[in-house]
Amino acid sequence: MTDKEYKALSIKEFSKAAKVYETDEAGVYKMCKKDYPDVLAELEREDFTDLLDCGCGTAPMLTLLKQKYPNKRYTGIDLTPEMIEVARAKRMPGVELVVGDCEQLPFADASFDAVICCQSFHHYPNAQAFFDSVHRVLRPGGRLILRDMTAKSAAARWFMNHVEMPIINLAGHGDVHVYGVDEVREMCDRAGLRLERGEKRGFFRLHCVARKPKEA
């Protein structure tokens, strides 16, 4: 499939999911909640002022962050208009919500201290463009916290990418690719980010923290 076709599938999938995404009827999407504690733990390591949530969906993570750190500034971006519509209905002051593409972040250079991305990355057809864009919008010393699906062995990831993914696409889901730590490290290196933590954790989770180096 082309990049455009993958993104069209994702928009169709999550347009249907938007109204139930944070309910007991969310189905498989409820598993995303398993990522929140690990992301919060990383954010608590360092102070931040401006945070961007890539693939924010209906903004469940931003809702938690707004409650925990009410005086910070937050921005969420998602490709699916219906997701952003539901998020905006929460009327959270100090939270900007944008319909847009995470491969081409529509924000000024050096706008954010922290970028988070939870269970959205495997929907991106051009993963390198995402890392390049994150590097641009991060301030020097800022961090990317990435959570996504993975498998520990290259063979298992091959099966997921070449057998499971095409079946999932036929079922109407816009999943593109799952990555290992080494692949993420290579893309970070090309983008100018330094991977500080790259781990395979429970529930088939990839946990990565990358930093934009401070200016010399």
Task: Enumerate the domain spans of the chain.
Answer: 3-211
CATH number of the structural domain 3-211: 3.40.50.150
pTM: 0.93
Count of beta carbons in the 10 Å neighbourhood of residue 60: 20
All residue ranges of the chain with pLDDT < 70 are 25-27, 29-30, 216
Q: What is the pLDDT of residue 165?
A: 84
pLDDT in tens, 118-174: 999 999 999 999 999 999 999 999 999 999 988 888 888 878 888 888 888 887 888
Q: What is the pLDDT of residue 163?
A: 84
Give me the helices (H) in the chain, please: 3-17, 36-43, 60-68, 81-88, 127-137, 154-159, 165-170, 181-191
Q: What is the pLDDT of residue 26?
A: 65
Q: What is the pLDDT of residue 211?
A: 97
Q: What is the pLDDT of residue 184?
A: 96
